[in-house]
Each structure stands twice: as structure tokens, then as C-alpha cells.
Amino acid sequence: MGSSSAYTFAKNGKSVLLLEQFSFLHERGSSHGGSRIFRHAYEDARYVRMCVDADAAWQTLEAESQEGLLFRSGGLDIGRKEFLEQIAQSILSGGSDCDFLSPRETTKRFPVFKPQEENTVLYQESAGVLAASRAVTTLLRMAVNYGADLRDNEAMLSYRATASGVEVTSSKGNYQATKLIVCAGAWISKVFSELELKTYVEKQQVLYIKAKGKDFLVGKMPIFIERDHGIYGMPSFERPTAIKVGDHYIAPQTDPDTRDFELNQDIAKDTCDKLASFMNLTPEILDFSTCLYTKTPDEHFIMDRHPETPQILIAGGFSGHGFKFGPILGNILFDLAYDQDSTYDLSLFGLERLKA
């Protein structure tokens, strides 16, 4: 989100300094790794409209940078008919397309899946895989191309409002600016402790499950979300003989400064058992990785001005589903920073709803 903001503000002719408390592309936060799901499928049409615009924005970034970032695979949502009908309606009203498949049709078309007979399957052709770390690198590279100054291993220690904007004190110096945009990820509530935001941090883990054969490749196997249990995954992309799988619902809360990077074996087993109930494989874990979700109670984002110092913008609480929106989140923050009308309903993302 910080990389997207730096890219957007610099592209719009602003003088930009980006501070990163760790090294660029570190693995202590939420945006690292080889892949993230991209989809238009949301039960809220407001998100669908944002996804459609993000789709176009990723394609624009690809053309600008000459870098491949979004790889189409199609996408499946598996679950109860009533819930998927709501998602389908939102997809259509948000300006995208989808189709329903029966469990039998799903298995015939995608042999690696075996949905239960009581389930409904929603298919969306536009879904796919985003090359995550490559996308962050590209945003940073293009920010530099437009004149941004990037500095890592430099933490913001404090900030204060000034007559002309804001002053930031970092671990290496002091800076003056007219605007401050804080995209602090799992540290957002610590940075703005005075606001007592109702956010919490989860330690998520993803599993790389052994999966050999062409049916598991991008273009053959779609990304998927099993809605009843929150199991999600994507085809073989980062690893030649493994698919990536996670559990959106079950994760322990943690502190970003003291969290561990170990595999929780009980959660991993539960994930594998649920996966085996709707996929034609016997799950064997080849590897794993961990990341952080910074969640709000309603799992909507935070994108708003600081209530006391409006020259400071706060972006966080992306709740495990924000990455796909990358480039347009920078646009939203730019509009907020310069009091421009947004094309989106920003009431979803206001701070007021999160105060303790």
C-alpha cells in the first residue's frame, strides 16, 4: 500500500519520500511472497467496482513497466447456493461477469476439484494470480521512475503537525512535508495509539501442497475459495509441483514485534482435512510460509484522514483481502489528500467506526 501510494503520488507530479522501517521486500509484514489471489467476486458490489478498476490498473502498470504481474486462471467460489447467488448479483451489478456450475460440471471441467453435491459453484473467468513481491518491486521501481526517493531500514519514530503540513522524525533524520501518508500494516494501531483503533493482528500461514501434473497449472486450475470453511488456494505458480493453500478464518492473534514464524501443526492438519473434502488429492505439505493479517472488526479497510490533523492520511486494516486493489488504493489516498471527489463510496473505510 505504501509502494502504491509512492507510485501514484510521484506519477501525479508530487515530490515523494518513502520510508520503510525494514528492508524493501522484507517478510515481516503482509505483502511478501510469490502470489496473491486476484478476483472480482465479492458480496458487496462496491468492492466489485473497485476490483474491476484494479484489474484495469494492474494492466496499465504492466504496460508501463513491461512486467507481467496478473496471470489469469479463472476462479471458483464453492459454497451455499443462497450466498453465492448474492455474490453473483454483486458481480453483475458491479460490472463483471460470472457463471454457475454444478458440482459434476466443475469436476468435468477442472478434474482436481470434487465439490460436495449440496454445494453450488460460481465461476469467474477474470480471476487469477498476482505475482506479489514482483508487483511490489514494480510499484517501487516505477515510483523511482517518476522521481520518488526510496529509503529502507529507516523507521518513523514520531510525527507532529506544523503550520505548513507535518514534520516526521525518523531513525535517521527529520523531514518536512505538506502531507503524510501512513501505510504501517500490522503496526497501524501502534503508530496511532492515540486513536485507540479497534484493529487486531493475526499470524496467518499458507501451505505448499504437493500437486504434480498439468491439471494443477495456471490456465488449467482456477484459484478457489471454499466459502463455508474459508479455505482458499491457487494453482501451481510459485512452485512447479505445489499449489498454495490457506485458511482465511482460523489464525491466532499476535503482536507484529514478537510474532514467531513457525508452523502451527494443528491448523495445518485442519486445513489439509478441509482441502481433501473438495479436491482430488491427498494433501502432503512440502513447505509453508507465514504472514500477517491486520483486521478490522467488519473486515473493511481503513482509508481516511486523521481526525485531528487532516494532512495525515491513514491506510491499514486490509484484513487479508487488500492486496488485489493495490494500484487504485494509491489513487484513493491521492484523492483524499487533495480533497478530490472519489469515484468510490469511502464511507466503508472511515475511522469513526473503529474508535474504541
* 163 pLDDT tier (thresholds 50, 70, 90): very high
* 356 pLDDT tier (thresholds 50, 70, 90): low
Comparing CA positions, the residue from 318, 325, 313, 233 lying closest to residue 30 is 318
What distance in Å separates the CA atoms of residue 6 and residue 18, rounded to the nearest whole number?
A: 7
Averaged pLDDT for residues 159-186: 97
Averaged pLDDT for residues 48-74: 98
Averaged pLDDT for residues 278-307: 97
Domain-embedded: residue 8? yes
**In the chain, alpha helices (H):** 2-11, 45-65, 81-93, 103-109, 132-145, 188-191, 265-276, 326-337
Mean residue pLDDT of the chain comes to 97
For residue 9, what are the CA distances in angstroms to 173, 193, 316? Answer: 22, 26, 18
Read off the pLDDT of residues 104-131 as tens digits, 9 standing for 90 and up: 999 999 999 999 999 999 999 999 999 9
Task: Check: CB of residue 129 under 8 Å from CB of residue 244.
Answer: no
Domain-embedded: residue 44? no
Domain-embedded: residue 39? no
What distance in Å separates the CA atoms of residue 43 and residue 108, rounded to the nearest whole number?
A: 27
Domain-embedded: residue 76? no
Percent of the chain with pLDDT over 90: 99
Residue 161 sits in a domain whose CATH number is: 3.50.50.60
What is the domain count for the chain?
1
Region of 165 please: left (phi>0), alpha (psi -120 to 50) or beta: left
Region of 211 please: left (phi>0), alpha (psi -120 to 50) or beta: beta
* 354 pLDDT tier (thresholds 50, 70, 90): confident
Domain-embedded: residue 169? yes
Give me the phi and psi of 290, to 5 degrees please. Answer: -125, 155
Task: Check: CB of residue 209 under 8 Å from CB of residue 281.
Answer: yes
For residue 169, what are the CA distances in angstroms to 166, 284, 297? Answer: 10, 48, 31
Domain-embedded: residue 263? no
What distance in Å separates the CA atoms of residue 39 and residue 48, rounded to the nearest whole number?
A: 9
Question: So what's the pLDDT on residue 82?
Answer: 96
257, pLDDT greater than 80: yes
DSSP-derived pairing of the beta strands 166-170 and 174-177? antiparallel
Percent of the chain with pLDDT over 70: 100
Looking at the DSSP assignment, which residues form a beta bridge with residue 75?
Answer: 124, 223
Question: So what's the pLDDT on residue 295?
Answer: 97
Read off the pLDDT of residues 192-209 as tens digits, 9 standing for 90 and up: 999 999 999 999 999 999
Averaged pLDDT for residues 140-160: 98
Question: So what's the pLDDT on residue 18?
Answer: 98
Domain-embedded: residue 259? no
Q: Which range of residues forms the domain containing residue 27?
A: 1-34+131-185+302-350
Question: So what's the pLDDT on residue 312?
Answer: 98
Read off the pLDDT of residues 76-88 as tens digits, 9 standing for 90 and up: 999 999 999 999 9
